[in-house]
Structure formats: C-alpha cells, structure tokens
Structure 1
Amino acid sequence: MEDTTRHPLAAARIALGMTMDDLVRGIRAAAARRGLRSGADVARVHKWQRGVRPNEESQIYIAEALGWPADIIRADDWPNWLPLSADGVVPLGPHSFVPALREALRTVMERRTFLTISGAALSALAADWATGPATALAPDRDSRPISEDFVELLENTAQSLADLPTEERQHTPALLDACLSTVTDRLAHGRYTPAVGLRLHTLAASLSQTIAWHRFDHGRHTHARQYWIAGLHNAHAAGNHDMGSGLLSDLAYQAAWQGDHTTATHILDHALTRARNPAARCLLQLRLARTLAAQGDKSEARAVLRALSAAEQHLSDAGDDRPTWCAWVSEADLSVDSGQALLDLGDTSRAHQLITEGEHLLPTTRAKTRGVFLAYRATSHLDQKEPEPAAAAATQSLLLARRIGAPRCAHLIDDLLPRFQPYAHVQGVSELLHLASA
C-alpha cells in the first residue's frame, strides 16, 4: 500500500482512487483540451510528490485532472492548496490530527467550499471513531522542544477569548484562527513530551470546536464541519472520548439543523457508545430526542420519551466534575429541549410550559442561547394561537441577535415571519414585521 502521508498530492490522488497512470492521463487530457501538450509522466509526478514544485500551468492541469476548479490553486503555496480527501473528511489515523487541522484552516477560504461533505461520510467517520482504538500520542520529534510556559500562554489566550461577553466574541474569529494555526504548527513541527502533547491536542480540539460554532452561527456550514472534524481528530489523539462524543454531537446538531435527521441519529448513536460523563450523556440524549421528534414519525414517540428520561437522569447524576465543553448543560437546556421535542410530537401545552420555564432559568451570561430560546418560545406561542406574546418573544430574540452578532438566531425569526402574516393587525406583530424588514 502506498504511503499517503508523504505528500498531499499522493494523499489526494489515492483518496480519489486514482493510480499514478490515471493522474498522468488526466493531466495530459487537461492540456490537450487547451490545444497544448503536457510533458507529465510517472517520473515527473514522482518528483512532484518528493518536493519538486510544478509550474502554475501544471498545477492547473493537476487540479482539473483531480476534478477540482482551477480557482482553488495558489501556485506559490504548492502543495498546501491540495485538498486532502475526496469527500472532505480526513480519515482517522495515528497521525491524522495535523492534516485534519490544516484542512479546516484551509477551508476558511471561500473557494474551498466546493468540497461538500455528505451525511454518509460523516456517519462513516462516527462509526470509525466508535469502533476504532484510541490513537496514541505522537512521540517526541527531533526539533526545538515546546516549553510548558508557551503551552500555558496558548491555553490562557484561548480561555480569555472564550470568556469574553457574547457581544464581544463576534470580533474574535481571526484571533482564534491565529491561535489554532500556532497550535497546529507546534503539533506538526515541535518536539513535546506526552504530557505536553496531550495539552496541545486538547487545546486544538477545544479551539476547533469554538471556531466551528462561530462558523455555524454565521451559516458557513462547510467551514464548521471541517473544524468539528479537526477537533474530533485531536480529541481522538488525546484519547478523550467524552470530548470526541461532544464534537460528534455538534456535527449531529448541524445535520439536524439542516434537516438531515437520519445522519444526525446515526452520529448520535455512535457518540453515545463512548461517552461516559453524565453531563456529556445528558447533552447527547437531549439532541437525540430532538432529532427523533423532528422526524415527525409518531412511532418514534417512545424513543423520544426514553431519550428525554435518560437525559433527565444523567443531569441529576452530573456533579461539578464536568468537561468544559458541556459544563453549561443545565435545567434550562433540559426544559427547553424537552419542550421542543414535545412540540414536535404535538403536545403543545406541556411544550409551551417547559420552553417558558427553561427560558426563565437561563443565566444572563448565555445571551446567544437566550436568543434561540426566545425564538422557540415564540414558536410555541404561535402553535397555541397566541400571536401577541409570540411577537413579543420574537422581537426580543431578533433585537438580541442583532446586538450580539448572532445571525443564526435572526434566521430562526426569519423562518417564523410567514406565520405572523395572518396576525398583522395584532398588537406587536406589525412592529415585528417592520423590524425584520429593516
């Protein structure tokens, strides 16, 4: 078997199931379509895979032969512009954590969004994570050692950015990306002990998760997926199964948000196999209940109620020893997500009660979540044919979303607007519609 780690061109070619001869023929065909002749042969491709940089014209032919648009090429950054997989998912492996991070960081460029990631690819990744062994940390490298003081600086920087008030966090993406780029570089080129490596992988996973949520909130779904996947690779490298399950549950949440509940269910089923912390399992069960209920299949009602019951028990069992990424899970989340699931099952009265209770329980520090919860409360009021309080909740949500820079919350309200149209004469509704159009 070929070593796919030696060069991105080899990895990209093999990911597409192409032999060296296939690639050569594709390159020659790309030149021929322009009435030109390429001198590419197997020997030359070998040279490219060993560090020789092809000229810009040849790079265009390579991209075309691999089925990619020419505008992803940055000739002066060969081979870093090459995608590392055929389906956008870097496979889990002993040294996959750096390629996955680099793929996420490169996907930030808009021209790479042509690499869509299918539900089948995400489900397969989740299955590999659930059944495969924990990945050993990378050994020391022959390069300059990384000091614990430097790692602590990176950790403190990331934590400081995460602790900012919600309205200020909207201005931090570039800083987070820079911090993650530094961690990626140190993982790739630094020399570190297993203890320092564990901290670097954990930090990479945490940063990737934070960045992914920012991208998701702004509707940049391909970017968000790549960051969550990169985080999963690093949680896997650190042997942190609870964090890995959380990153998978984020991918499932995104799939459900986009209406792909089958993929969401598959991912969550795999995530639950290795999650052990009660708070983590509570979050997974809540998301499972939500996605099962959203499918609209009344035969799943029992499964939904079982998941909600399990989530309630796990939250009761959760003490203060919680992973940072799910330390926020609370009675407020249990109430609102339970209410949303019951709303989808048709139990509107109980659903409205739970959603309202949960929104009131939410700490003031969780402004973005409050915006989402207010949108849910508006929905439940509309389901009970109560347009005036629905408009009030929707208006609060929209104003909050605009203040803190949370377009996902605003999108929830945009989706509700057609349901307000029949109530244009009701107090507060016309004001809401005007605000939304401004």
Structure 2
Amino acid sequence: MGAVSACMDGVEDVPLHPLVAARLACDMSVGELAAGVRAAAGRRGLRSGCDEARVRKWQRGVEPSEESQVYIAEALGWPADIVRADDWPNWLPLTDGVVPFGPHSSVTALREALRTAMDRREFLTISGAALTALAADWAAGPTAALAQDNDGGPVGEDFVTFLEDTTRYLAGLATEQRQHTDVLLNAHLSTVTGLLEHGRHTPDLRKRLHTLAASLSQTVAWHSFDRGRHARASQNWVAGLHNAVAAGDHNMGAGLLSDLAYQATWRGDHGTAASVLSHALTRATHPAARCLLQLRLARALAARGDRSELRAVLRALAAAEQHLNEAGIDRPAWCAWVSEADLAVDSGQALLDLGDTPRAHQLITEGERLLPAARDKTRGVFLTYRAASYLDLKEPEPAAAAATQSLLLARRIGAPRCVRLVDDLLPRFQPYARAQGVPELLQLAAG
C-alpha cells in the first residue's frame, strides 16, 4: 500500500491504514461502512453488531474476524473470494492500483502482482491519472532499490543462471506452445520474488534477479493481456517497471511503460497512452527502444482521429524509421523483434486512423509480407489490420479472406486477443452478407 498521508482528527502526516484508504476511495463514511457490514451479514440471515466504534478500531490496527473481513469486502463492493483472512490488511486492493516507487518497492510490486493473479482481482483497473503519475515519477528518476541484507539462505549463482536460462527457453518457444507455459512462468516469477525478498546474495546476483523479475513480469503480463486479463497484465507490467528501476535499466523501464501505454490504447484511452509514452521517451536511449516507443506514440496520437495530429504523427513515424535504421543487431531482448514489418504496419494503421486509406492499405499489406514466419501472433493481428483497411476501401471479399485467415491462425495458436480483433470487425461485414467469403467468415466466427 502506498504511503498516502492525510490530516485526520488533528494528526498530520500519518500514513492511512489500508482500510481507511479503501473506504475513502469508495467515498464512504465510517457509518456507511458499518452499515454495509451489517447489511452483508443480514443477506446471510445473520446479525452483526458492527458500528462506527468497531470500524474505527479496525482502522487503528485491530484485526477483524475472518467473517467480518468477508463482510468488509462486500460492503466495499468487492467479491468475497479476494479475502485472505490470514493476511489482513494486505489483501485489501490498492486504491489506485499502483505501488509507488521506493527503496524496497520492487518486491512489494511483485507481491501485489502475484496477489492480483491469486485473488482474481480483475475488477480493479489502474486509472489513467494514476498511470500518468507513475510515468512522470519514473521520468523524474526514482532512486534504484537499496541492497538488502536478508536472513534467508544464500542464493547460488548456478541457480540464478538456471532460472535465467529456463526463462529464456520458455519465452522463446513457438507461439502455439506459449499457451502452455503460464504455470511455469508464474512459478518462476514467484521463486524469483522469494529470492529477492528472503535470500542472501551478492550485489551482482541481486541485480540479475531484478532484471530477471522485470523480464518475467513482462512476459507474464503479455500472456495475461492476450487473454483479456487486464488487471493482472497491468500489475505485472508495474512490477516489471519497479524491478527495471532496481536493476538500473532505463531502456527496459521505458519499454514496460510503453506496454502499459499500449494497453491504454487498446482500451481506448489514447490521451493517457500518449502522455505515458512521452514520459517514457525522456529516458530511453537505445535506438530500437526509441523506435518502438515512437511507433506506439504515433498510433496513440492517430487513434484520436483528429487530423490536427497529422504533423505530430508523421514526426513520430519519421523518428521511428530513423531509430530503426540506427538500431543495429545488438538490441535489448525485449525489443529485438522490432523490424521493417512493424514500421510498415504501424505506420499504415496510424494513417488508416487519420483517413489516408489507400496509403495505409499499401503499408499494411507490405508489412504483413515482411513479417517472419516465427511471429504468428503478430501476423494474426496484422491480418485484422489488413481486413479493416480493405473494409475502409469497401472491398469485402479480400477483407473476409484476411479476417478468416487471422481467425483460423488465432485459434490454432491460442491467441484470444486476435480472436477479439476479428470479432470486433464482424459488424462491419453485415452489409456485405452475400459477398464472396463473408458468409463463411460469419459461420466460422459463430462456431
């Protein structure tokens, strides 16, 4: 829980108890929370003697019973199954979804991400304001985590190397195999978190563990994002960001912020995405990293659909092209894949959003041809972009062919995000229900 301070009952700068922060976030008074607890008991045919005095005791550190914790969750509008009575008050979700930067925040952020997965906190999202504030704090240069002396057993270099090697292997599997790696990746992340929290290690090994935690968090986040588990994805990206800071890796930190911005764009919050990417660009130095960030910035700006953004979009695309030409082959692993194909397709999609359909269609088609066979999931996404560009040109037959190809590919490799993209296009095919390939596409999608 962040160190939020308030002036209450004449006491200044006292960190809020998590229950107070949660209550205030729900705009509830002490009396309203007490009434909510009594109502939760009443729905079970029981009576609760909860009153304002009891709530204040909880807020001062008295631990509620397990039964009362369930009632508290329901009173605050949360599902009862997130309650972990033996971990009060830590199970209370963060009110803004963001762990603030601090000397030991890397492990705290990892634990929050693991709790989000364990407790299925998919009802929580990070607000655009909180995400922008996090990016601004990162751009201001948060201090890296201080080395800690833990009481646990020593961590051996061979074991860390084993974790690094197996993580690379799992992340490098063919796309259709990655859908089977979630349990292993989460187990690795939990292990690394435990080593950082309790293990004794040299400064060099600690840095490697932070780097590994950042990489694992990013991979787990993308797996979650592809399956529509947005709260889990965002918390893992935030955890990765904290560990990139701890490792002193500014480029990876910028990349993790850009992943959060990509998620914001996906959810239609293009203003937040552009703000976050602008902050991320202040500290990214590697040309490949800057290329990816500029491409995502161009997409975020163009997605607003405002022709007045055209000049800014073109500047970002030109910068991305220049950075790609300068990137060379020695790149950070997380952005090693950025290529001419991505430049072409993202440029095309940006132009498509701004209404330059013919040029957009040309670039998207060109980029899809350039994409290497190993990137099937990306190919599925690109095919939906191609289908959309054909629909904009009022050419339903090739649009249906591209969408069908994308849907078949997505189902084969287990890529729900690609399926969602095709589903979102289906209403646009309805006026062309008799065009070649359209009935077959609609039937396939319904099956």
Normalised by the length of structure 1, the TM-score is 0.90
Aligned counterpart for 2:340 among listed residues 328, 331, 339? 331
- Contact 1:139–1:192 at 8 Å: present in 2 too? no
What's the % identity of the aligned pairs?
Answer: 68
Which stretch of structure 1 is more off in the superposition, 338-347 or 306-315?
338-347
1:151 is aligned to: 160
Q: Which of the numbers 58, 73, 91 marks the counterpart of 2:100? A: 91
**Counterpart position of 1:268:** 277
Residue range with higher mean Cα deviation, 60-69 or 228-237 = 60-69
Instruction: Flag the 1:26–1:233 CA change in 2: closer, same or farther, 3 A.
Output: farther
More divergent stretch after superposition (313-322 vs 100-109): 100-109
Matched letter for residue 254 of structure 2:
S
CA positional deviation for 1:12: 2.1
* Worse-superposed segment, 216-225 or 103-112: 103-112
Aligned partner of 1:192 among 197, 201, 209: 201
Q: Does 1:12 align with 2:18?
A: yes
Match of 1:355 in 2: 364
Q: What corresponds to 1:172 in structure 2?
A: 181
Q: Determine the structure 2 residue equivalent to 1:141.
A: 150
Q: Is the 8 A contact 2:23 2:76 kept in 1?
A: no
SS in 2 for 1:112: coil
Secondary structure of the residue aligned to 1:143 is coil
Tell me, in whole angstroms, the C-alpha distance in 1 between the residues paired with 2:435 and 2:82: 51
One-letter amino acid matched to 2:67: E
Equivalent in 78, 83, 87 of residue 73 of structure 1: 83
SS of the residue aligned with 2:442?
A: helix
Structure 1 residues 211 and 252, CA gap change in structure 2 (3 angstroms): same
Letter in 2 for 1:78: D
Q: Give the match's secondary structure for 1:392.
A: helix
The 2-side partners of 1:72 and 1:298 are apart by 45
Q: Is 1:112 matched up with 2:121?
A: yes
Indicate the SS of the match to 2:99. Answer: coil
Residue by residue over 1:408-433, the C-alpha shift from the partner in whole angstroms, topping out at 9 and shown as x without a partner, is 11111111122222222222222112
Shift of residue 116 of structure 1? 2.4
The corresponding residue for 2:67 is: 57
Which residue in the other structure is 2:212 paired with?
203
CA distance in structure 2 between the aligned counterparts of 1:410 and 1:181, rounded to whole angstroms: 30
Q: Does 1:420 align with 2:432?
A: no
Q: Where does residue 49 of structure 2 map in the other structure?
A: 37
Is 81-90 or 373-382 further displaced after alignment?
81-90
The one-letter code of the counterpart of 1:93 is: G
Match of residue 213, structure 1, among 189, 210, 222: 222
Is the CA contact 1:137–1:194 (under 8 Å) kept in the aligned structure 2? no
Query: CA offset at residue 65 of structure 1?
Result: 7.1
Deviation at 1:83, TM superposition (A): 3.1
Structure 1: how far apart are the matches of 2:95 and 2:130? 10
Amino acid at match of 2:97: G
8 Å contact kept, 2:19–2:59: no
Aligned twin of 2:420: 411
Match of 1:284 in 2: 293
In structure 2, the CA distance between the partners of 1:321 and 1:23, relative to structure 1 (3 Å rule), is farther
Distance 1:3 1:315, change over 3 A: closer
CA distance in 2, matches of 1:420, 1:31: 50
Superposition pairs for residues 304-315 of structure 1, below 5 Å?
A: 304-315=313-324
The residue aligned with 1:368 is 377
Rounded to whole Å, the distance in 2 between the matches of 1:47 and 1:285 is 48
Counterpart pick for 2:309 among 297, 300, 305: 300
Q: Deviations over 1:102-139 (max 9, x none)?
A: 11111124642232221111111111111133313423
The CA distance in 2 between the partners of 1:32 and 1:379, in whole Å, is: 53
**Contact 1:137 / 1:198 at 8 angstroms: preserved in 2?**
no
Shift of 1:58: 3.8
Mean Cα displacement is larger for which, 126-135 or 396-405? Answer: 126-135
* Cα distance change on mapping 1:80 and 1:153 into 2, 3 Å: farther
CA shift for structure 1 position 63: 3.9
Q: Which runs of 5+ in 2 are unaligned?
A: 5-14, 42-46
Distance 2:195 2:234 in 1: 23
CA contact (8 A) 2:23 2:29 kept: no
Q: Deviations over 1:266-300 (max 9, x none)?
A: 11111111111000000000000011111011110
**Which letter maps to 2:280?**
A
Equivalent residue number for residue 126 of structure 1? 135
User: How much has 1:36 moved relative to structure 2?
Assistant: 3.3
User: Over residues 155-198 of structure 1, what are the superposed CA-to-partner deviations in whole Å (9 max), with x where a residue is unaligned?
Assistant: 11211111111001011111111110111111111112211111
Q: 1:8-54: per-residue Cα shift (whole Å, max 9, x none)? A: x9762464487xxx998787656655543358587777665xxxx65
Give the one of 228, 232, 251 matched to 2:260: 251
